[in-house]
Every structure is written in C-alpha cells, then in structure tokens.
Amino acid sequence: MKDKDLKRLVYDKYSQIAARNEKSTCCCSGADKTEVYNIQTGDYSELKGYEQDADLGLGCGVPTKFAGLKPGDTVVDLGSGAGNDCFVARAEVGESGTVIGVDFSEAMIDKARNNAAKRSYSNVEFRQGDIEEMPVNGNSVDVVISNCVLNLLPSKDKIFHEIFRVLKPGGHFCISDVVTIGTMPETLRGAAEMYVGCIAGAIPKNEYMDKILDAGFVSLDVVKETPIEIPDEILSEYLTAEETEQFKRGGSPVFSVTVVGTKSECGCKSGCCS
C-alpha cells in the first residue's frame, strides 16, 4: 500500500474507535471476526492523573512512567488519542507546565478536548495534525512522549527528525513502541488489520534505534522491553495451523520497547560539535 493509503487506513480505524465509548482490549471480538486494535496495554491505574474514560486501551507501554517529567515542563504527546497520557503528564508537570496532545484523527481530538473540558484543565491542549509534520514550534518542548503510535507511520525517519526539531537543547523523548526481533511471516506483514493493530508496521529493533541516532540524538536507552504474544485466534486468521505452530515455536518476534533519547545541550546533532 502507498503511504497515503496507510495513513487513511489508520485515520479511519482510529476514528471509528474514538466514536465508541468502551475501552479496547488486545483482541476485540466483533460480530463476525476478531480484530486487532492493540497488542499490549500498560497499566495506568496506579498513576496520578489517570482518567479511566480517557484510556482507550490502545498502547503498548506506559511512557509517562519513565519520561522523567518535572514541574513546569512543556510536554508533547504524539498520537494523544482520548488524552490518557496527556492527563497523566499534567499531574507530573503541574499547573506551571503545559501539555500538548497531537493526533491525526479529528474524532480523537474532539474526544480528548471533551475529556479535558469536563475537568476544566487549562494547561492541556489538543492539536489536530500529522505528526510527521508536527504543528509545534521548533526548540520549544522539554519532553516528547508517545505510546504505540510511531510504528503506524510509513516514514519513521521523518518523525524522529521532527521530534529532534521540536525539542529544546537538552530535551528528551520517551516512547513506547513495537519493534521486531527476528522474522515475521509476510502474510502478517501484508494484512491491513495487523497494520492498524501496530504489528505489521513494526521494523527491526536495530533499524529502529539507528533511525533515532541518525536523527541526531546523542544518547539512547531502552528502559523496558517485553515480548508480545499474538493470540492464537489472531494468528489463525492469517496463518495455517502448521505456520502458526512454527511461528510460536520460534518465540515471539514482536516486542514492546520503551526508549529514552536525549538531544544535546548545545542543540546540535550527534557528533557535529566534536
């Protein structure tokens, strides 16, 4: 599929999810089949600022837990959905901080804005836009967070350069995402539902890390890594019984990782001041 078609696929699916009121789970049973909307939702329930009605269960980690947020920080959440990570971030940065959520889906933006308005949050805002061309000024953000969104983007190189652009010198990001370690069957990679389910768009871990470093970040740390087990009922839709058994025997090639990367204090790309 072309990049614009993949984006439309993601836009349509997540706009449909935004229109629903219930939280998604790893595999949601529809009337006719099981669909993948997410793969491994982190538990936010013990975090300060958590709002259950803003948690659609679409993540693969808890980046706000590892983001090192401080009072007064300006934070941008990429793929902010119904506002879950933004509200948790707000509890960390306090009234003196600012939280900006960016999402491609207008339906998600509307849902997040309604959630913020119900709580009279004055320092949380949501902007509709493509995070490959972020509606955020350069050198203006202390921390960028994102939860299981970047693997949905066709141009991952571009988004890491965008993250670098908006961060202040010395700023950092904390991203939970999906990567592969090993080989994934082409039938899974080619399935549209597996793409919007955050699996088919994942790239090898080493390639993912290289793209971050190529964007100019001076340090990179994987703070959490967890294998993701794809349920048998999902695999059976795309693989034969023999292929499913072989896939499982080799161990999961799909992992959730939470990564922290830092922009240099001088604001230069890695190595340019050495």
Q: What domains, with CATH codes, occur in the chain? A: 3-21+31-262 (3.40.50.150)
Residue 225's SS3 state is strand
Which residue shows structure tokens 């614009």? 4
In the chain, the percentage of residues whose pLDDT exceeds 90 is 50
- Relative to beta strand 219-227, strand 34-36 is unpaired
**Do residues 224 and 148 lie in contact, with contact meaning Cβ atoms separated by under 8 Å?**
no
More reliable by pLDDT, 258 or 31: 258
Supply the pLDDT for residue 153: 80
- Tell which residue, 105, 263, 77, has the closest CA to residue 176: 77
Q: Which DSSP string corresponds to 11-67?
A: HHHHHHHHT--SPP-SEEE-SS-EEES-S-----TTSTT--GGG--S--SS-HHHHS
**Do residues 63 and 258 lie in contact, with contact meaning Cβ atoms separated by under 8 Å?**
yes
Average pLDDT over residues 229-249: 82
- Phi, psi (degrees; rounded to nearest 5) at 109: -60, -45
CA distance 66 to 69: 8
Radius of gyration of the chain (CA): 18
Average pLDDT over residues 220-231: 90
- The first and second tokens of residue 170, run together, are 């010395």
For the cut 60, the answer to whether the pLDDT of residue 176 exceeds it is yes
For the cut 90, the answer to whether the pLDDT of residue 246 exceeds it is no
**Do residues 44 and 176 lie in contact, with contact meaning Cβ atoms separated by under 8 Å?**
no
Query: Where is 213: in which H helix or E strand?
Result: helix 205-214
Average pLDDT over residues 241-269: 88
Average pLDDT over all residues of the chain: 84
**Predicted confidence band of residue 37 (pLDDT cuts 50, 70, 90):** very low
**Do residues 255 and 225 lie in contact, with contact meaning Cβ atoms separated by under 8 Å?**
yes
**Predicted confidence band of residue 33 (pLDDT cuts 50, 70, 90):** very low
